[in-house]
Amino acid sequence: MSTDTASVAGRLTDEASGQVTVGYSADGHTATILIDRASKLNALTLGLLEDLAAAVRDVAASPARLVIVRTGGEKVFCVGADINHFADLSAAGMWRDWIATGHRTFDALAGLRQPSIAVVDGLAFGGGLELALACDFRVIAAEARIALPETGLGTVPGWGGTERATELAGRARAKELVLTRRQLSGEEALAWGLATAVAPRASLDHAVARLSAELLAGAPLAVQLGKQLIDAAADGAPSRVLEALAGGLAAATDDLAEGIAAFREKRAAHFTDH
């Protein structure tokens, strides 16, 4: 999906260090976050995580209705954490800096009010899969492979993978993913509940565009409230309270009046996010 305006979040660095950019469509409805460290298979460093956090803040402050997360290069979404950047960390450094920064960044991405789509066009291993799992939806190439292989290195997933994989796939599947280091194809990821949609790599952008159109067709505030209600329910919040508050907020918008009028007049609604 093309973008017509772009800004750079964080540092402009050399190719080996990578960079994170944010682009917005001409109508401002879609924000695209691009993590580009293709020469290193988009392996994540503390610097890239901090830049991603800045990109998420940029999007959160924007009027965008949808967020798409992509990575640079071909056939590799992200191979996860850059081993060379954490191999020599002390136990305190691993706890205080590496794990905490990844969690803080991915939690901020997951917590955006706008729905988000990860476009997984190739390998998504370890932290790369955790990045995708932090998005609301994952559109995965049939040729892709996803895995949480950390136990083969002598460690464990550290950026939310155990929690989010369990939420999506269930406890037994999450254990199989983590403990056996099994690699899943796009189709297997869909069957396990880890993918929203699967398409051949050549048709991936079409699948993303189709899902994007469906998400953008809803009233923006209602879509964002719906996302937050579902996330709150998953954390145990009572729907009888939150749905009443959210419904009251929606009732005060012009978009609800437009939606009702469109229903009565048997036409498509034209929402304005007001």
124-153 pLDDT tens trace: 999 999 999 999 999 999 999 999 999 999
Considering the domain boundaries, does residue 138 fall inside one? yes
User: Are both 142 and 249 inside the same structural domain?
Assistant: no
Q: Whole-number mean pLDDT of the chain?
A: 91
Confidence band of 258 (pLDDT split at 50, 70, 90): confident
User: Does the structure show a pLDDT above 50 at 11?
Assistant: no
What is the structure's pLDDT at 27?
96
- Asked which of 91-95, 115-119, 214-218, 236-240 is least confident by mean pLDDT, the reply is 91-95
What is the structure's pLDDT at 249?
85
104 alpha-carbon distance from chain centroid: 14
Integer CA distances (angstroms), 175 to 65, 94, 149, 163, in order:
35, 23, 12, 11
Instruction: Quote the pTM value.
Output: 0.91
What is the structure's pLDDT at 107?
97
- Beta strands 5-9 and 19-24 are antiparallel
What is the structure's pLDDT at 99?
87
Domain that holds residue 50: 5-216
User: Are both 232 and 164 inside the same structural domain?
Assistant: no
Considering the domain boundaries, does residue 144 fall inside one? yes
User: Are both 114 and 132 inside the same structural domain?
Assistant: yes
What is the structure's pLDDT at 36?
97
User: Are both 212 and 232 inside the same structural domain?
Assistant: no
Is residue 93 within 8 Å of 46, Cβ to Cβ? no
Confidence band of 97 (pLDDT split at 50, 70, 90): confident
What is the structure's pLDDT at 243?
87
Considering the domain boundaries, does residue 271 fall inside one? no
pLDDT in tens, 203-220: 999 999 999 999 999 999
User: Does the structure show a pLDDT above 70 at 119?
Assistant: yes
User: Are both 67 and 148 inside the same structural domain?
Assistant: yes
* Strands across the sheet containing 184-185: 76-78, 123-125, 145-147, 184-185
User: Does the structure show a pLDDT above 70 at 2?
Assistant: no
User: Are both 143 and 195 inside the same structural domain?
Assistant: yes
Considering the domain boundaries, does residue 251 fall inside one? yes
Considering the domain boundaries, does residue 15 fall inside one? yes
172 or 260: which leads in pLDDT: 172
Residues in contact with 66: Cβ distance below 8 Å, sequence separation at least 6, in sequence order: 29, 30, 31, 114, 115, 116, 117, 212, 215, 216
Confidence band of 13 (pLDDT split at 50, 70, 90): very low
DSSP letter at 82 equals: -
User: Mean of the pLDDT values across residues 244-252?
Assistant: 88
User: Are both 227 and 208 inside the same structural domain?
Assistant: no
SS3 assignment, position 1: coil
What is the set of active-site residues? 130, 150
Is residue 39 within 8 Å of 47, Cβ to Cβ? no
User: Mean of the pLDDT values across residues 12-26?
Assistant: 82
User: Are both 212 and 234 inside the same structural domain?
Assistant: no
User: What is the number of domains present in the chain?
Assistant: 2
Considering the domain boundaries, does residue 270 fall inside one? no
Residues in contact with 212: Cβ distance below 8 Å, sequence separation at least 6, in sequence order: 1, 30, 66, 68, 117
Is residue 70 within 8 Å of 119, Cβ to Cβ? yes
Question: What is the residue-wise DSSP string for 153-191?
Answer: TTS---SSHHHHHHHHH-HHHHHHHHHS---EEHHHHHH
User: Are both 65 and 145 inside the same structural domain?
Assistant: yes
User: Are both 39 and 95 inside the same structural domain?
Assistant: yes
d(CA 19, CA 250): 38
Centre a 10 Å sphere on the Cβ of residue 224 and count the other Cβ atoms it contains: 18
- CATH number of the domain within which 47 lies: 3.90.226.10
User: Does the structure show a pLDDT above 70 at 8?
Assistant: no
User: Mean of the pLDDT values across residues 217-245?
Assistant: 92
d(CA 228, CA 219): 14
Considering the domain boundaries, does residue 274 fall inside one? no
User: Are both 54 and 171 inside the same structural domain?
Assistant: yes
SS3 string, 189-216, reads HHHHCCCCEEECHHHHHHHHHHHHHHHH
d(CA 78, CA 146): 10
pLDDT in tens, 165-209: 999 999 999 999 999 999 999 999 999 999 999 999 999 999 999
User: Are both 89 and 157 inside the same structural domain?
Assistant: yes
